[in-house]
Amino acid sequence: MPKAKYDEIYMSLKRAIETGTYAYGSLMPSENTLIVQYDCSRNTIRRALAGLGGDGYVQPIHGKGVRVIYQPVDRAPFAFGGIESFQESASRNNFQVVTEIIQFSVVTVDEQLAKESGFPVGEEVYSIHRVRRLNGKPLILDKNIFLKSAVPGLTPDIAERSIYAYIEKELGMQIVTSKRTITVEYASEQDQQLLELGGYNCLAVVSGQTFNSDGIMFEYTQSRHQPDYFSFHSTATRKKM
């Protein structure tokens, strides 16, 4: 599927870094060397390297080379970053996930909801509340709002499995951009009833909007996480000033 050449090179180099072929702190082969190795143009190599830089894998040093700054991480039970769904990250780590539907309804966006979600007033949306159980323990409360016109035919049955799989495979829609905000809030009555919070009196809240390949915002999400199972990773590269 990765038919773009720069993407193949990107993944090839990424794997080489992860397996230690290029060690932390060392310099990558020069661009000209890579051009010969991969038989491509300089632009293509630079694009692959730019991708690695965005992932926090390498950092270019003007006039010197491209330094590897990737270090293996073995911390949290599972990492949660980018646009990876709960299902995806869980299955990647071989955990069993069960989803329970708490609420499934169609509502019309009012002033209040519009301000919170970013959807225009008057739009019809699905409002879905779900509890995610990891190995039996209820750990995440997901509140999703989907634009009905963009995600037609949603049913509780689908929501119980994976909505993202339905959207991507059945509807053929591609998820492209997601904006998220992370905060920490007091656990509400509902949180305490539905989740197993242990001794925590608060939880990690991830709020965000998701855009499809048409640039249409079709989802607003609020995920409320039991703190023990929450970890968010981010890499930032500073531009020139």
Residues that bind DNA (CB under 7 A): 2, 4-7, 27-28, 30-33, 39-44, 46-47, 60-66, 213, 240
Length of the chain, in residues: 241
Q: For residues 94 and 88, what is the distance between their CA atoms, to the nearest angstrom?
A: 10
Closer residue to a second copy (CB): 64 or 153: 64
Closer residue to a second copy (CB): 59 or 192: 59
Pairs from 160-168 (Cβ < 8 Å, separation ≥ 24): 160/99, 160/100, 160/101, 160/130, 161/99, 162/85, 162/87, 163/128, 164/85, 164/87, 164/88, 165/87
Closer residue to a second copy (CB): 101 or 176: 176
Q: For residues 132 and 237, what is the distance between their CA atoms, to the nearest angstrom?
A: 33
Closer residue to a second copy (CB): 46 or 148: 46
For residues 13 and 44, is the Cβ–Cβ distance under 8 A? Answer: no
Question: Rule CB under 8 A: which of 88-127 touch a second copy?
Answer: 115-118
78: partner contacted, choices a second copy, DNA, none (Cβ within 5-8 A by kind): a second copy
Q: Which residues bind a second copy (CB under 8 A)?
A: 1-2, 4, 7, 25, 53-54, 56, 59, 61-62, 64, 67-69, 71, 75-78, 80-83, 115-118, 174-186, 199-204, 207, 209, 211, 213-215, 217, 220, 225, 227, 230-241
